[in-house]
Chains A and B, each alone.
Chain A
Amino acid sequence: MTAGFWRQVMAVVERDLVRERRTGDVLWVTIPFGAIALLLIPLAVGTDALLLSQIGPGMYWVIVMLFGVLVAVGKASSETLPQQDAAALAGLDPAAGFVGRSTSATMLLLAFEVVVGVVAVGLYNLTLIGIPWLIVTLVIVAVGLALLGTLTGAIVNSTSAGTALVPLLVAPLSVPLLLGATQAYDGLRFGHSILSWVLLMAAVVLIVAMIGVLTARPLQET
């Protein structure tokens, strides 16, 4: 990967972030949607404070998985076919495009995780333990979801089902991340080592990243 490759990555990141600044999709739509979902859960399961503090972390991660993926998919599928063709003709390396879109989605997902996390801590009375490990978990989940969302967004792009198919594809594939994140939080709460869960999530992220980079060109051709 040359300096040219990384320049292309940075150009794609910049483009996506500028687009987000203009449209505000994540800031004004997805984040409030996630916060509303956290508000609705206690109305359905009961407002017992102890129960909510027990299920809160799990609910937070489920919201991150289900809503967070919309962030990544939105960015991946927002390009029209003529735009994709123009990017290809301009010499954009498909792998650089994938890495760039995933990076910008990671940044937006981190913002989503932090804001919705603050809401969850407040509403569910959660205690934050092992903050450095928690940050590591948040970053790995954001990277993993961004990669999965970007990859599946590219797979379904211009199919007849469009992005409607993405949740069906991403939700089951993100299970290792959901398991790792929830188990890591429980491990921190009970003072256990969470290294094995962090490694599991990192391994999944690495595999998805490899698949994404290696299949970027074949996917562009479709």
Chain B
Amino acid sequence: MVYACVLGLIALALMSWSLFDQGWIPIMMAMSVGQGIGTLSFALFLVIVIIDLRQAEFRPSLPPKSKTPEDD
């Protein structure tokens, strides 16, 4: 998550720069490098969420059902 946040901050800085300086360098940087880094940041975040969700599937949220004589 730390990497996602750091990359996200870099991406935001690049994208925000182009809003105020509309020369070719800021605009090209924002629309290529900035958005690329931002996408990577979001992808990292999603990977973390998916890993957490997959692990959560194996965590017992309810105590195991006790066996009753009828089950047998």
Query: Are A and B bound to each other?
Result: no
Residues of A whose CB lies within 8 Å of any CB of B are none
